[in-house]
Structure 1
Amino acid sequence: MELTTVWFILIAVLWVGYFVLEGFDFGVGMLLPVIGREENERRVLINTIGPVWDGNEVWVLVAGGATFAAFPEWYATLFSGFYLPLLLILVALIVRGLAFEYRAKRDEAQWRARWDLAIVIGSAVPALLWGVAFANILRGVPIDADMEYAGGFFNLLNPYALLGGLTTLLLFLTHGAVFISLKTDGRVREHARELALKIGVAAAAVTVVFLGWTQIDTGTVGSAVAFAVAAVALVGGLLAVLAGREGWAFIGTFVAIGLGVAGLFLALFPDVMPTTLADGTGLTTANAAATDYTLKIMTVVAVIFTPVVLAYQAWTYWVFRRRISVDHIPAPLPTPTRR
């Protein structure tokens, strides 16, 4: 197997890891004011992802870095052509991170409400725009003969891409609701389970349409298998929610998102960014790749450090595996008076 193919697979794995892990983070953030009707309940929701959300974001950083090193032409065209949506995603992630850190700094309802809104927006914007971005990569964008993006921002807002954004938004909401029901107890757990079923039905319908459209346009035998298993896993996850088996439900949504993203990469290969221009030059794993020497060095580094990172993150999830409820939330400390 050529190293360009190996690194295409590794980048696909990184994006799969990002979407299945950060996906429930986004879902929890978007559901914060819906499930968290009281302050203690909202603190429970934030605590479910508190130990892991920043670690989950590392996946996208590594995916971006790997793309830059392994496929510099892909990175350059992607980040120049998708500059505005990627900038919006970056700003949203920064604001969301600040909100997690700052909402508890003052014991004032209005202060917390503003940061809660920042968490919702900072979760919803990436959840939507990541789907829009990946759908455009699959569909193809205007790339000229010099392998430079020749379109504008509104080229990205086509029906297929918007459907892709709605798909990731609904899938992450479902994934987040299932994760909340897995990690909490009491009223929060029951409310999350109810929402997972309601949102999950809509997510399943939209996902089938989007993946079916993708398969008809650019699909392969491999992507068809991945999409079919993803659909079965999503339905199985919803049935597990109905039966009160949150662990199996989370595995179902986890597998559905993971195989859905894997299917998108299978449908894309060997392209990495196709062009819609007749006289343009699409990017492939061959013409967008770095030198063999660079890929060899990167492969050695990946073989050494990837198992370490995976083991550490698995250990983190194991340590924080217990359910939490409002009974575990301590009363807030009194705000010190100024003299």
Structure 2
Amino acid sequence: MALTDIWFLLIAVLWTGYFVLEGFDFGVGMLLRVLGRDDTDRRVLINTIGPVWDGNEVWLLVAGGATFAAFPLWYASLFSGFYLALLVILVALILRGVAFEFRGKIDSDRWRRNWDRAIVFGSLVPALLWGVAFGNIVRGVPLDAQHHFTGTFFTLLNPYALVGGLATLSLFALHGAVFLGLKTTGDLRERAVALTKPLGGAAILFGGGFLAWTAADHGGWTWIPVLVAAAVLIAGVWYAMDGKEGLAFVCTALAIVATTVTLFYSLYPNVLPSTTDAAYSLTTTNAASTPYTLKIMTWVAVAFTPVVLAYQAWTYWVFRKRVTRESIPAAAGLPPVRR
């Protein structure tokens, strides 16, 4: 296997890790106002992801950095063609991170309510737009002979990509609800589990439709991960309703893995197909860095990846227990709102 193929595979793994881990973060954020009936409930929801959400976003940074270093032409064409969409995602992620930090700084219901809305917005928008972005990457975009994007922002809003956005939105929402069933107790847990049924129906409808559309276009072995995704998604909803949240979470995570595998398998050996002319498509060969660059990157990845994985696994182990309402301290010592 060539180094270009290895790095395509590694980038696929990085995006898979990001979607699995950040997926339930997005789901919790989207459901903040739906499941949180008072401030204590919402603090419980935020605390379920509080120790890990920023660490989960590291996967996005590494995936972007690996793409820039291993396939610079892919990175350049993506960020020029998808500039506005990626800017919106970035702003939403920044707003979400600020909201987590600022929400509890002032003792004011209005203050907290506005930051809660920012968390919902900062979770919902990336969950939707990542699906739109990857739908366009797999479908292809108009590229000229110099690999320059020749479309507009509205070129990206095609039916296939929009269904992809609804697929990731519903799948991440389900993943978050299952995660909350695993991490909370009492009425909050019961409400989260009850929500898995309608969210599971939406995920099966949109996710199944998107993956079936992808498999119909590309055929062959693509149907295998599609069928796996459908099976584990149905099993995840079943386990959640049966009170087996651990197995349900494994199933929704596997559904996200199978979905990402479907997309990258459908894409290879292209990294960004051209709808103008297939000869203008970016591939793992013509978009790659020099062999020497890829060789150095491989040694760095071999040395540091196990350390990062071990640290993140340790973090999840330390914060593995459920979060209860009783574990939330009273909001004391906060400055009152100034009128």
- Give the TM bin, normalised by the shorter chain: over 0.9
* Alignment match, 2:59: 59
Q: Is the 8 A contact 1:142 1:280 kept in 2?
A: no
Please tell me the root mean square deviation across aligned C-alpha atoms, in Å: 1.3
* Alignment match, 1:8: 8
* Deviation at residue 219 of structure 1 after TM alignment: 3.9
Q: Is the 8 A contact 2:271 2:283 kept in 1?
A: yes
Q: Is the 8 A contact 1:23 1:175 kept in 2?
A: yes
Query: What is the 5 A alignment of 1:1-339?
Result: 1-221=1-221, 223-278=222-277, 281-336=280-335
Tell me the number of residue pairs that the alignment of Structure 1 and Structure 2 aligns. Answer: 338
| Greater alpha carbon shift after TM alignment, 198-207 vs 149-158 | 198-207
Could you say what secondary structure the match of 1:303 adopts? helix
Could you say what secondary structure the match of 1:129 adopts? helix
| Greater alpha carbon shift after TM alignment, 96-105 vs 259-268 | 259-268
Q: Is the 8 A contact 2:107 2:336 kept in 1?
A: no
Could you say what secondary structure the match of 1:146 adopts? coil
- The normalised TM-score by structure 1 is 0.98
Paired AA for residue 319 in structure 1: V
Structure 1: runs of 5 or more not aligned: none
Q: Structure 1's 286 and 110: CA in aligned 2 closer, same or farther, altered over 3 A?
A: same
* CA displacement 1:65-106 (0-9 Å, x = unmatched): 000000000000000000000000000000000000000000
* Deviation at residue 277 of structure 1 after TM alignment: 0.4
Paired AA for residue 302 in structure 2: V
Paired AA for residue 253 in structure 2: F
C-alpha separation between the residues in 2 aligned to 1:249 and 1:279?
41
Indicate the percent of aligned positions where both proteins have the same amino acid.
Answer: 63
Q: Structure 1's 299 and 335: CA in aligned 2 closer, same or farther, altered over 3 A?
A: closer
Could you say what secondary structure the match of 2:271 adopts? strand
Q: Structure 1's 279 and 184: CA in aligned 2 closer, same or farther, altered over 3 A?
A: closer
* Deviation at residue 280 of structure 1 after TM alignment: 5.6
* Deviation at residue 337 of structure 1 after TM alignment: 6.7
C-alpha separation between the residues in 2 aligned to 1:167 and 1:246?
22
| Greater alpha carbon shift after TM alignment, 121-130 vs 201-210 | 201-210
Paired AA for residue 330 in structure 1: P
Paired AA for residue 212 in structure 2: G
Structure 2: runs of 5 or more not aligned: none
Paired AA for residue 282 in structure 1: S
C-alpha separation between the residues in 2 aligned to 1:336 and 1:115?
16
* Deviation at residue 13 of structure 1 after TM alignment: 0.0
Q: Is the 8 A contact 1:69 1:290 kept in 2?
A: yes
C-alpha separation between the residues in 2 aligned to 1:315 and 1:116?
29
Q: Is the 8 A contact 1:131 1:161 kept in 2?
A: yes
C-alpha separation between the residues in 2 aligned to 1:252 and 1:104?
34
Paired AA for residue 190 in structure 1: E
Paired AA for residue 253 in structure 1: T
Q: Is the 8 A contact 1:147 1:280 kept in 2?
A: no
C-alpha separation between the residues in 2 aligned to 1:183 and 1:118?
23
* Deviation at residue 220 of structure 1 after TM alignment: 3.7
Could you say what secondary structure the match of 1:37 adopts? coil
C-alpha separation between the residues in 2 aligned to 1:324 and 1:337?
27
| Greater alpha carbon shift after TM alignment, 1-10 vs 326-335 | 326-335
Could you say what secondary structure the match of 2:137 adopts? helix
Paired AA for residue 285 in structure 1: T
C-alpha separation between the residues in 2 aligned to 1:208 and 1:244?
24
C-alpha separation between the residues in 2 aligned to 1:279 and 1:305?
37
C-alpha separation between the residues in 1 aligned to 2:205 and 2:138?
20
Paired AA for residue 112 in structure 2: R
Find runs of 4+ consecutive structure 1 residues off by over 4 angstroms: none
C-alpha separation between the residues in 2 aligned to 1:294 and 1:334?
53
Q: Structure 1's 279 and 206: CA in aligned 2 closer, same or farther, altered over 3 A?
A: closer
* Deviation at residue 197 of structure 1 after TM alignment: 1.4
